[in-house]
Structure 1
């Protein structure tokens, strides 16, 4: 049955409008709804009608309190739960709830890499001035220590890096920083920085440390270049001397070995000759004992034969005369060979 059909008595959800056409009265509608919620028909005391209001307010407040305690922790974050401002626990990612007003959650990103650069002009172990710069990448490793152990962990990291850099550079020589030992120095700086952060419970972890710059200051650059050139020249001369030494020592050893072999051969020759003379003397001795004069004459003749064999000139002393005859045997033998 429609609202205004015959026999319908003009009944509609908005109440009787005394058969008056037009939209329903909003005020009347609200009053009817309120009476239904409050359970009264307009009579009764005020205390009876205030109970539902308090109940509704409590429900709304409870829902708001529950909603206020809902938190969402992202995948890269950790939640630090505080109970009346005191640390309680660390929760992981996901939907979390804490009683509002009693506990709170502070979110900490544990995956985000932060960067810092530390630079300074420092004095090395061998009293040289050098300009050094390092780059640091770090992240939060322990959210609790990061939030509560230090008032400013990032500032502490900066100061710890400067301290580590000055200590390691002060214990190193300038040549090591400029040339071959950069990796060792970088590792020492990293170990010292990690030791300091651990002693402070900073809650930070250094993921990477790079030695970005190690050079003399601009004002001293020309002097350092002169020193480097001199060092390069010195190394070149040392290499040349080493090459010359490597060349001469084998030759000297070869010559020494050759001389030693020649000396050994001469020794063997002289000893053999001496042994031959001894053997010859031992053979002549019995003959000399039997006939001394004959043996002396024979030895004299053999000796003269050996001497004159290698001589090209002969002097002949004629008995009973004052003149000495000279025989040029070399010329005589030469003419004989030409005549042949």
Structure 2
């Protein structure tokens, strides 16, 4: 603001016929050196002694004498361009100098600069932060140097390397189990049917240098290898086996074995922990028909189970009858006559017990007696008597 304050007084001084404070008359270029006054001392102007004129307040040591010639070591008057560019007549001003405001670091006690000390301190801090590495339990780290050349590995603990960017240290958790979920895919079974199957793969790192440098994208490789192994394993099973779950354990074990063999062949540094099949469904367009087929199969299985139970009962009864016959035959061989009579009596008893007639073979007895009718009448009379007794009691 002081610059603009000085500039705005120049037009006013010129119009008033006064002397220019920068060293030249505002109106009349003649005179005998009276313009070289000291800016407030009239005597100096009259004598024309040739003393230096008023100094430019913006340029230390600036200003010209009465003769208009610059004295040795003097400065020319500053232009507007010099003022706004922070330049002096002799060139750019030093930061923090008298030519304008600027930031200037304090000097050291011996007169030197603090810049080298600050640079050394920053270098020490940078080295300390990028050279010391703390590897947690369950983690490992690989060290590369000069743009990616592998030079070694770090185990759990405190480790030291060259500072970045000379050495680059990358840490990975090699103990944690990672899971890759594979969405639903249509896979062809061994009996030329399609099954909609989704599954997940559990794996971890068993060799960190191979995992980081052998394959371009290890995670994508795991997905591709899992799909290949799954399609090969499902192609060995029928649709019923896959959907019913009877062969699911076999499929999971086969996929894990195939995946591990392929990844070891690639040198991937990956250990497959297990395969989990989440869903096994028929394709969406044939779900209804497939449900009907499953219902018919369940009905058939239920009927087969009933037939198996009936055959087992018949077989058990036949075996029991055969055992009983063997026992009777053994007794018959010991006493044939007695055994024959006993068998006859038992057979007749079984046959006659289901008839309503009683036959008695004895002298003086009527050959046929309606014993069943007599029995029935006796029961009816007993019932009437009991009802009469109950009525009289009441």
Take 1:190 and 1:241, find their aligned partners in 2: how far apart are those partners?
A: 41
Instruction: Tell me, yes or no, if structure 1 residue 125 matches structure 2 residue 186.
Output: no
Unaligned stretches of 5+ residues in structure 2: 1-95, 98-103, 338-362, 366-394
More strand by share: 1
Matches within 5 A, 1:91-110: 91-100=154-163, 101-110=165-174
Q: Which residue of 2 aligns with 1:78?
A: 140
Take 1:102 and 1:183, find their aligned partners in 2: how far apart are those partners?
A: 51
Give the alignment partner of residue 110 of structure 2, picking from 31, 36, 47: 36
Unaligned stretches of 5+ residues in structure 1: 1-25, 39-51, 271-332, 336-340
Give the stretch that moved more between structures: 251-260 or 174-183: 251-260
Instruction: Tell me, yes or no, if structure 1 residue 87 matches structure 2 residue 161.
Output: no
RMSD: 3.7
Instruction: Tell me, yes or no, if structure 1 residue 140 matches structure 2 residue 205.
Output: yes
TM-score, with length taken from structure 1? 0.58
Give the alignment partner of residue 219 of structure 2, picking from 141, 146, 154: 154
**What is the count of residue pairs matched by the alignment?**
236
* CA shift for structure 1 position 187: 2.1
Q: Which residue of 2 aligns with 1:248?
A: 314
Instruction: Tell me, yes or no, if structure 1 residue 211 matches structure 2 residue 277.
Output: yes
Q: SS in structure 1 opposite 2:110?
A: helix
Alpha carbons of 1:260 and 1:68: their partners in 2 closer, same or farther (altered >3 Å)? Answer: closer
Q: Which residue of 1 aligns with 2:10?
A: none
* CA shift for structure 1 position 263: 7.1
Take 2:328 and 2:180, find their aligned partners in 1: how far apart are those partners?
A: 76
TM-score, with length taken from structure 2? 0.50
Alignment deviations for residues 276-306 of structure 1 (CA, whole Å, 9 cap, x no partner): xxxxxxxxxxxxxxxxxxxxxxxxxxxxxxx
Q: SS in structure 2 opposite 1:36?
A: coil
Q: Which has the higher contact order (CA 8 A, sep 6+)?
A: 1
Give the alignment partner of residue 188 of structure 1, picking from 254, 264, 286: 254
* CA shift for structure 1 position 229: 1.8
Give the stretch that moved more between structures: 145-154 or 188-197: 188-197
* CA shift for structure 1 position 64: 5.6
* CA shift for structure 1 position 226: 1.9
Give the alignment partner of residue 225 of structure 1, picking from 291, 295, 301: 291
* CA shift for structure 1 position 227: 2.0
Alignment deviations for residues 23-80 of structure 1 (CA, whole Å, 9 cap, x no partner): xxx99xx999547155xxxxxxxxxxxxx99985884575266336424334153220
Q: SS in structure 2 opposite 1:202?
A: coil
Give the stretch that moved more between structures: 193-202 or 102-111: 102-111
Alpha carbons of 1:267 and 1:234: their partners in 2 closer, same or farther (altered >3 Å)? Answer: farther
